[in-house]
Chains A and B, each alone.
Chain A
Amino acid sequence: MSDEKLKELQEYIQEFASKENKQSYLIAVLHKAQSIYGYLPKEVIEFVSEEMRLPTSAVWGAATFYNYFHTTVKGKYIISVCMGTACYVKGAVEIMETIKDELEIKENETTQDMMFTLQEARCLGACGLAPVLMVNGKVHGDLTPEKVKKLINDYRSERL
């Protein structure tokens, strides 16, 4: 962990030092930490817990509760496959399996080249385009296994 990043996080935490219920700013601090590090490494969680005088178990509990927070390192592209009802009915399982085969990883894993992280999502609110997935916030709909393979190749060769 670089001192610069740590210093940035520490300064952010200190903004709340004088506030009442300063420990209630945990979520904001974790957001900040993740924006700095890309995910929440254990060392960072320990640092947050010490700086905020919060038990590590509580910080870990919050970090693992929210889907948004990642406690493991993530790839460049985060693929979230919608497993909501509409997508499920329209073949989301097949889409998921295709990606798993293509990337040779399981859900919540990251490819060795650190390009892709695969995860499941609940309804993305794009049921009309079912089945859908999202790559770093961009939605791709009306998918078939073939389309998904092409999509992955496009990302892999940085054509998108």
Chain B
Amino acid sequence: MIKVYINDKPYDVVEGITIMQAAAMAGYKIPSLCYHPRLSIYGGCRVCIVEVEGVKNFAASCSYPIKDGMKIRTNTEAVRKARKEIVELILDNHPQDCNICKRNGICELQNLAREVGVEERMFAGERKRYDKDDASPCVENNQEKCVLCGRCVRMCAEIQKIRAIDFVNRGIKTRVSPAFDMSFKDSVCSCCGQCITVCPTAALTEKDYIKETFEVLNDKSKIKVAQIAPSVRAAIGEFFGLKPGKNWEKETAASLKKLGFDYVFDTQFSADLTIVEEASEFLDRLKGNGALPMITSCSSAWMKAMEQFYSDLIPNVSTCRSPMSMLSSIIKTYFAKKINVDPKNIASVAFMCCVAKKYEAAREELLIDGMRTTDYSLTTRELGRMLKSSGINLPDIKGEEFDSPLGQSSGAATIFGVTGGVMEAALRTAYELATGKTLIDIEMTQARGFEGVKEGKIDVDGTEVRFAVVHGLGNAAKILDVVRKDKNKYHFIEIMACPGGCIGGGGQPYTAVNGQTFDINLLKLRAQALYDSDKSKIIRKSHENPDIKKLYDEFLGTPLGEKAHKLLHTHYKPHFPKGI
């Protein structure tokens, strides 16, 4: 312990921390912009400056280590003035279009300007002008709004280890872009959207399909069908200012009805379907029909990254479509027939926690007889904006059940949204399908939690099944390097591209816990909402979902059968966009 003085009061703090951390312990939150606790220190924005006695210039508190006897002042007149000027200069190089900005009201830069007391625009000179890059189906890059904090660059490089983007040029011409100034569309970007999660402004945002969706909703010739992913209901409340950690399932279903959807189905139903197919596929591979380890395929950003960087592992990746795409397939075939409607007249809209699902929805490999099955995929944030603009206040809505026949789901499907959930759900089913016995201990703690790489094993009738669960593409890289060297270490691997799994998806609300988005405690709260829902369900295994059984009896035949193969499975091919 060493002694420091913060604003003239002594504090005992541990050695090795920064001024910012010490000040936080003393109860002073120092404003910041480029700093993020889960990313490396950058010290680029200078917003977090403080005075340190004996040090000539202001010190950036995010990167300045504390020393014994250090005298720090966080709120002198000079510091406040300098901080305000720094923010003013950033604002002067930023479009002053807050009222018509996607992040109006939920913008870190806006909050910062208010915090440091910016009241006027000092310099009306030139500001940077760039064309928006909106060619990607997932990510929009509007560099006019970029404040060059570099959090996206560090997120992509450090957490996801994709490094699709970096700073380009220098000085006043600096911008964030993929290599060769090419569009995100042509780059190695996995579309995970995590850069959006940490962006303080609207420089990086999801490609928005709200307008198109409203058009569909007003089209009388269409039957409008919606589906929502498990993680959307665990986070949508946050968009309405509600505390994280509650599952808003029924309210979300009812809200979608109020928006004008004729049928509201549940992606959890098709999560059960995915599990029945995937568990069957796994058992088949275990018998020697196909490569092991089998790697899950639900995460669309992982799919894109896999085809680019790990195409040698294509034989190991499950051929199952994601739950979104499975449900869309079923909606436009089984369900269309059931209500006697031409599938061309069905608009299928998916509400996902995911940015990459927009890319997945457009994948050619998923067309059925030339027909696209998911017409639009929207994020939780887009859903929030749609509801708000329609005057639908989620917390006031009386909950409703999902529609039949694609609305019932098991507890196993609910936990799909959390890292480890797909593994847990798949093993619950695989065990029972393989052994014919009832699995008693269904909560698999080995697969749960937020460790980057989790390992576990389960005994399936004398065979030891070893599995691994990873979340975040950086962690995926670790395990895939192991797999490339040793194919026998694991039998089954779950990979989710986003940290925390879908609950931490790139399309989730910008909820700040401890003053920052992308907080591990936020992920824990969202996860708890889903685990609680699993616990409260009577049916907790996918293959016991009666509507799934009915779907196979009436339509699909058997898991991995001919029809299932056409509608529920897919294939992959290597892609080599520029850049490694």
Residues of chain A at the chain B interface (Cβ within 8 Å)? 42, 45-46, 49-50, 53-61, 64-67
**Distance of B578 from chain A, by nearest CB (Å):** 6
Instruction: Judge whether B579 and A56 touch: CB under 8 Å.
Output: yes
Chain A residues, Cβ within 8 Å of B163: 55, 57-58
CB distance from A61 to the nearest CB of B (A): 4
In contact, A56 and B168 (Cβ under 8 angstroms): no
Contact of A57 among B165, B169, B170 (CB under 8 A): B165
A residues within 8 A CB of B170?
Answer: 64-67
Categorize the interface residue count of chain B.
10 to 19
The 3 A-B residue pairs with the shortest CB-CB distance in the complex, in nearest-first order: A56-B579, A55-B163, A61-B166
- A42-B180, A45-B179 known; A56+B169 contact, CB < 8 A: no
In the complex, the answer to whether A61 meets B168 with C-beta atoms within 8 Å is yes
Q: When A56-B179, A60-B179, A60-B180 are in contact, do A46 and B578 touch as well, CB less than 8 Å? A: yes
At the interface, yes or no: B164 with Cβ under 8 Å from chain A?
yes
Q: In the complex, what distance in Å separates the CA atom of A55 from the CA atom of B170? A: 19
Q: Which residues of B contact A (CB under 8 A)?
A: 157, 163-170, 178-180, 187-188, 578-580
Q: Which of A42, A53, A64, A66 contacts B580 (CB 8 A)?
A: A53
Residues from chain A with a CB closer than 8 A to the CB of B187 are: 57
Tell me if A59 and B179 are in contact (CB < 8 A): yes
Is there contact, CB below 8 Å, between A60 and B168? yes
Residue of B168, B169, B180, B580 near A55 (CB, 8 A) is B580
| Known interface pairs A46-B579, A55-B163, A56-B580; 12 further A-B residue pairs with C-beta atoms within 8 A, sorted by A's residue number | A42-B578, A53-B580, A54-B580, A55-B166, A55-B188, A56-B578, A57-B164, A60-B179, A61-B166, A61-B168, A64-B168, A65-B167
Q: Closest residue to B162 on the A side, CB-wise?
A: A55
For the complex, give the distance between the alpha carbons of A61 and B178 in Å.
Answer: 9
Q: A64 to B167: give the CA distance in the assembly, Å.
A: 9
Q: Which residues of B contact A56 (CB under 8 A)?
A: 179-180, 188, 578-580
A109 to B208, CA, bound (A): 37
Docked pose: A57 CA to B166 CA in angstroms: 6
> Contacts of A55 on B, CB cut-off 8 Å?
157, 163-164, 166, 179, 188, 579-580
The closest CB in chain A to the CB of B189 belongs to A57
Q: How far is the CB of B34 from chain A (nearest CB, A)?
A: 17
What A residues does B169 contact at CB under 8 A? 64-65
Contacts of A60 in B (CB 8 A): 166, 168, 179-180
Residues of B within 8 A of A59 (CB): 179
